[in-house]
Copies of this chain bind each other. A is one copy, B any other.
Amino acid sequence: MDVRSAIRDAGLRVTRQRVAVFDAVRVRQHVSATVVLAEVAAVLPGVSHQAVYDCLADLTGAGLLRRLTIDGGPMLYETRAHDNHDHFVCRICNTVFDVDTASDTTFRSDVQIADGFVIDEAEVTYRGFCADCAGSRRVTDIAIA
């Protein structure tokens, strides 16, 4: 399915800014608004940062993007394409890697909370050292065994 349809189906108007913002996030993954602005400005000279913030908020609200915050850093955005994954953050370079959720699904639904609390999501963030920063040879994509 293409972006334009997805945006329209969400009840939002299809604008160049929105398409460009979505594309920027899709290509880079885990990007801040500032980085998205830079990417988008390359395609649409003169975009305002406000437009980027608005698009990111709208697309996130429509469920097309997902937002996460790592420590005190700026908010990062990613597409919800292949959902059901967690994140690994390197303590040194701060890069965020996707980690496929394996048996976690089981783990998550096992969770019970007392007295009227309703859980609808569990977000797992792993921390440590990525292959590069740990002094390893190559950097491949990360995955749970």
Chain A residues engaging chain B, CB cutoff 8 angstroms: 67, 69-73, 75, 88, 91, 97, 99, 103-104, 107, 110-131, 134-140, 142-145
Determine whether the beta carbon of B113 is less than 8 Å from that of A88. Answer: yes
Besides A114-B142, A114-B143, 12 new A-B residue pairs in contact (Cβ under 8 A), listed by A number: A71-B75, A88-B119, A97-B117, A103-B110, A113-B145, A115-B138, A116-B137, A117-B134, A121-B127, A122-B126, A123-B124, A123-B125
Determine whether the beta carbon of A134 is less than 8 Å from that of B110. Answer: no
**A123–B116 alpha-carbon span in the complex (Å):** 23
Contact of A117 with B103 at beta-carbon distance under 8 Å, contacts A72-B69, A123-B124, A145-B112 already known: no
* Copies of this chain held together in the complex: 2
Determine whether the beta carbon of A118 is less than 8 Å from that of B112. Answer: no
Contact of A134 with B116 at beta-carbon distance under 8 Å, contacts A71-B67, A72-B69 already known: yes
Determine whether the beta carbon of B126 is less than 8 Å from that of A119. Answer: yes
Determine whether the beta carbon of B119 is less than 8 Å from that of A127. Answer: yes
**A124–B117 alpha-carbon span in the complex (Å):** 16
Collect the chain B residues with CB atoms within 8 Å of residue A113's CB.
Answer: 88, 99, 126, 128, 142-145
CB distance from A76 to the nearest CB of B (A): 10
Q: Smallest CB-CB separation from A107: which chain B residue?
A: B107
